[in-house]
């Protein structure tokens, strides 16, 4: 499988118990202790990372051009090997409050620097591509992106961008068809 080099961090709810017997995570309020020395008040701890590869597909609502030409990714579709135990766990209390424990991925550039950190945002679904089983799921950044913070913008597209986003160029396809095309192009490179 081609794609980005990623580190997968499996998440767990913090189970630290203070010397006085108080737990970090209060199951009645679904709130972690801000004073926890293990999770630093997040309620989540991560196991040591697993190195793997992933296909990352940007999920923008429409093309975005920022002053420096950077496209901020706030929501992506990730596809990983089936042996990666990706999950999202939801805890609920009787008052209707929810607390999520989300696995984390660090996506690396070709120069081995962290490019983006995202958290699992949907239950993984099995996807068969070229006879191989993968997992596909939504992942989101933990920070508010420029796209969300600033809302829709009027963007002046270059002539090349106009061609790439024109209705004649874009063919409506479902996600599995797009993923198959990506896998086939990767396989062809080998």
pLDDT band, very low/low/confident/very high, at 91 (cuts 50, 70, 90): confident
pTM for the model: 0.67
pLDDT digits (tens, 9 = 90+) for 17-61: 999 999 999 988 889 999 999 999 999 999 999 999 998 887 654
The phi and psi torsions of 53 (rounded to 5 degrees) equal: -120, 150
Q: Which two structure tokens, joined as six digits, stand for 101?
A: 């424990």
**Residue that wins the pLDDT comparison between 108 and 163:** 108
pLDDT band, very low/low/confident/very high, at 62 (cuts 50, 70, 90): very low
The phi and psi torsions of 4 (rounded to 5 degrees) equal: -85, 145
Please, what sign has the CA dihedral across residues 36, 140, 64, 52? Answer: positive
Q: What is the mean pLDDT of the chain?
A: 77
């Amino acid at each position: 499988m081609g794609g980005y080099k990623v580190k997968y961090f499996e998440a767990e709810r913090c189970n630290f118990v203070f010397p006085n017997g108080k737990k970090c995570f209060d199951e009645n309020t679904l709130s972690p202790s801000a004073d926890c020395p293990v999770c630093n008040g997040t309620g989540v701890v991560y196991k040591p990372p697993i190195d793997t590869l992933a296909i990352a597909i940007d999920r923008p609502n429409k093309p975005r051009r920022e002053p420096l030409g950077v496209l901020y990714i706030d929501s992506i579709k990730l596809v990983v090997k089936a042996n990666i135990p990706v999950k999202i766990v939801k805890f609920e209390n009787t008052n209707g409050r929810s607390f999520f424990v989300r696995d984390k991925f660090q996506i690396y550039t070709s120069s081995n620097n962290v490019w983006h950190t995202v958290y699992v945002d949907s239950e993984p679904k099995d996807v068969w591509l070229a006879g191989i089983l993968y997992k596909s799921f939504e992942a989101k950044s933990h920070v508010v992106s420029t796209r969300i913070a600033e809302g829709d913008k009027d963007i002046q597209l270059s002539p090349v961008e106009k061609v790439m986003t024109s209705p004649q160029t874009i063919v409506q396809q479902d996600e599995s068809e797009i993923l198959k095309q990506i896998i086939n192009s990767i396989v062809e490179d080998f």
